[in-house]
Amino acid sequence: MKRVLALLGVITFIAVFLRLFNLGKTPIALEWDEVALGYDAYSIIQTGRDQFGHFLPINFRSLDDWKPPLYVYSAIPGIFLFGLNDFAVRLPSAVFGSLAVILVFFLVQEFFQERPEKNQIALLSALFLAISPWHLQFSRAAFETNLSVTVTTAAVLCFLIGIRKRNFLFPASAALFGLGLFSYHSARVVTPLLLISLLLLLRKQLPGKKVLIGFFSIYFVFWLFFLPIAVNRDAQIRFIVTNDLEVEANRSRAAGEIALDLKISHEAYTTGRLFHNRRFSIYNYENLKRIVANYLSHYSPKFLVVEGDAPLHHAPGFGMVYFFDYIFIISGLGFFILKYAKRKNLILPLWLFLAPLPASVTWQSPHSVRSEIILPTLQVFTALGMWNILIYLKREWHILYKAAVWTFLPVFIFSFGKYLHQYYFHTNYELSRNWIYGRRQAVEYTENVKANYNKVLVSLGTDMPHIFWLYYTQYPPRQYLRVGGTVSGGFADERNKFDKYEFRNFKYYELTGQEKYLLVGPPRDFPPQAKILKTIRYLDGSIALQIAENLNE
């Protein structure tokens, strides 16, 4: 066991190093969600309130997308110790990501405790999660979903150990499942379903009535805090703006189809009123097809191996997993059915197939952020597949076994090395636009020269400019709230302002002859005759932002 723990220590070191190395510099900048999370945590430290003035909220309005609170509160210790900077804002994701690697080792041991190969599969699972492109991508930026992966893994692990040992970990799992409701939007669907699955699968091993009452009492406390969020219209905005069901469009389509049936025949009209009923438009066949297609897309090689989804979510030229992972995942599922499908272990495939459900009813599917909670099941099935294939070859075809090992090792090393190269060297250069590079440089410039101007106008084309200027100036939250704080976090709101800064659109020639203004915006905001003072470029050489002053006649 000492050797196993030593190997786990090595894997953990690799995981921590990969997640902390150059954390504040790669990716090259913080995108707007990261900045918003960081400034809200900073504001909580300074005032106990978020940027809107809400006292210790359990649902952060943020950029009008109402973020769950776990990441913000997790960022407080790092920002308190290291100050408001990129490293501190991303630190919770790196810490939780590293912790997940350790947790998956013990989770796999718990699942397969009666199998002689449990240690090998547990170590492989931990290793594959430590170097996972998907998990690394989200462990190195302030993604709330990454915390939900760790919390969910810990909840399942504590539940299983708590049932087996009849100890405090069982009620602790109730708290962790409850905490999952406040980690990320997808977890609010997946974690309750996982808990129900565990309770049904292991109902015969559940502890006595008193312990169960305590368990559900703890879980219910979290639901008491969550229910107001669940029924609040504003807090539902994230689902409203991302859902792919097109209810109103489907209702109009249903009315049109009923009118067409009436033209065809009386019988068609009679049955059509059932099949095209506007009251059930959300359940119509087109919606069903879209949801099924969205769901299945999360398992496609195109998404997992070839190209991933949005550029922000993966390294250039990589999908979400290594190409060899896909083969081992499929074979791992087969070996699971043949060798490991005990009642307790069924939670693994259930987890795998429940995880994409929330993302399936949203646009932009497949979506790696909304479905990241599928980890670490992919790594567990990868480990099962690889281990069992190698053991079979070693037992039945020893020559093929040696050939497989000597073929796989260089492929594995090359794939991992290629990923590191693409991530650390290509991400910043190719994706500086996606990571919203240039805002720090713009803020530094405006801070240095703002004393020479009456006002600084920052165009909304700069993308959520108010939060970037708050973050990079580290504007005192108490002072900011004294003048009203953030009015709205929306893309198009022109009411946010502080100090000399106003965040609104402008027309360059309409500012001629007025007060002396410093102007910040993308190139489209300035005509050729504009008096450009500074041009900020993305790393590929294209223009990110320009800074100008108005013409005085």
Tens digit of each residue's pLDDT (9 = 90 or more) over 30-75: 999 999 999 999 999 999 999 999 999 999 999 999 999 999 999 9
Per-position b or e across 409-437, b if 16+ CB within 10 A of its CB: eeeeeebeeebbebbeeebbebbbebbbb
Per-residue pLDDT tens for 161-192? Answer: 999 999 999 999 999 999 999 999 999 999 99
SS3 494: coil
**Which phi and psi (to 5°) does residue 502 adopt?**
-125, 135
**Which has the closest alpha carbon to 382: 319, 322, 306?**
322
Q: Which pLDDT band holds residue 239 (cuts at 50, 70, 90)?
A: low
191 touches 155 (CB < 8 A) = yes
Q: How far apart are CA 363 and CA 341, in angstroms?
A: 34
DSSP string, 321-381: S-HHHHHHHHHHHHHIIIII--TGGGHHHHHHHHTTHHHHTBSS-S-TTTTGGGTTHHHHH
Q: What is the pLDDT of residue 24?
A: 95
Peptide bond into 349 cis (omega under 30): no
Amino acid at 148: S
Minimum mean pLDDT range among 141-145, 359-363, 452-456, 482-486: 359-363
- pLDDT at position 456 over 60: yes
Average model confidence (pLDDT) for the chain? 92
Minimum mean pLDDT range among 231-235, 307-311, 468-472, 514-518: 231-235
Residue 79 Cα distances to 86, 92, 230, angstroms:
9, 10, 29
- pLDDT at position 528 over 50: yes
Per-residue pLDDT tens for 480-489? Answer: 999 999 999 8
Residues in the chain: 553
Q: What is the pLDDT of residue 507?
A: 94
Mean local confidence (pLDDT), 495-500: 96
Q: What is the pLDDT of residue 340?
A: 95
- pLDDT at position 133 over 70: yes
Q: How far apart are CA 218 and CA 211, in angstroms?
A: 11
Minimum mean pLDDT range among 49-63, 92-106, 237-251, 431-445: 237-251
Q: How far apart are CA 397 and CA 391, in angstroms?
A: 10
- pLDDT at position 363 over 90: no
- Domain spans of the chain? 2-30+85-241+294-430, 439-549
Q: How far apart are CA 36 and CA 230, in angstroms?
A: 22
Which 8-state DSSP code applies to residue 519? Answer: E
Mean local confidence (pLDDT), 347-359: 97
Q: Which pLDDT band holds residue 258 (cuts at 50, 70, 90)?
A: very low
Q: Which pLDDT band holds residue 248 (cuts at 50, 70, 90)?
A: very low
Minimum mean pLDDT range among 240-244, 343-347, 481-485: 240-244
**Which has the closest alpha carbon to 125: 147, 148, 106?**
106
Q: What is the pLDDT of residue 171?
A: 97
Per-residue pLDDT tens for 74-104? Answer: 999 999 999 999 999 999 999 999 999 999 9
256 CB-near residues (< 8 Å, 6+ apart):
none
Q: What is the pLDDT of residue 362?
A: 87
Q: What is the pLDDT of residue 261?
A: 47
Q: Report the number of secondary-structure helices (H) and strands (E) in the chain.
A: 24, 6
Q: How far apart are CA 500 and CA 108, in angstroms?
A: 56
- pLDDT at position 204 over 90: yes
Q: What is the pLDDT of residue 329?
A: 98
Strand-pairing partners, residue 67, are 60
Q: What is the pLDDT of residue 84?
A: 98
Q: How far apart are CA 144 and CA 181, in angstroms?
A: 12
Minimum mean pLDDT range among 172-181, 315-324, 506-515: 506-515
Q: Which pLDDT band holds residue 432 (cuts at 50, 70, 90)?
A: very high
Amino acid at 368: S
Mean local confidence (pLDDT), 318-333: 97
Mean local confidence (pLDDT), 340-366: 95
Q: What is the pLDDT of residue 398?
A: 82
* H/E segment holding residue 547: strand 543-549
Mean local confidence (pLDDT), 356-361: 95
User: In 83-208, which residue ranges form alpha helices assigned H by DSSP?
Assistant: 86-111, 118-130, 133-139, 144-165, 169-180, 187-201
383 touches 108 (CB < 8 A) = yes
Minimum mean pLDDT range among 78-82, 214-218, 393-397: 393-397
Q: What is the pLDDT of residue 268?
A: 47
Mean local confidence (pLDDT), 402-413: 92
Mean local confidence (pLDDT), 518-547: 97
* H/E segment holding residue 10: helix 2-20
Peptide bond into 116 cis (omega under 30): no
Strand-pairing partners, residue 529, are none
56: number of Cβ within 10 Å: 10
68 touches 59 (CB < 8 A) = yes
Q: What is the pLDDT of residue 173?
A: 98
- For the chain, give the percent of residues with pLDDT over 90: 83
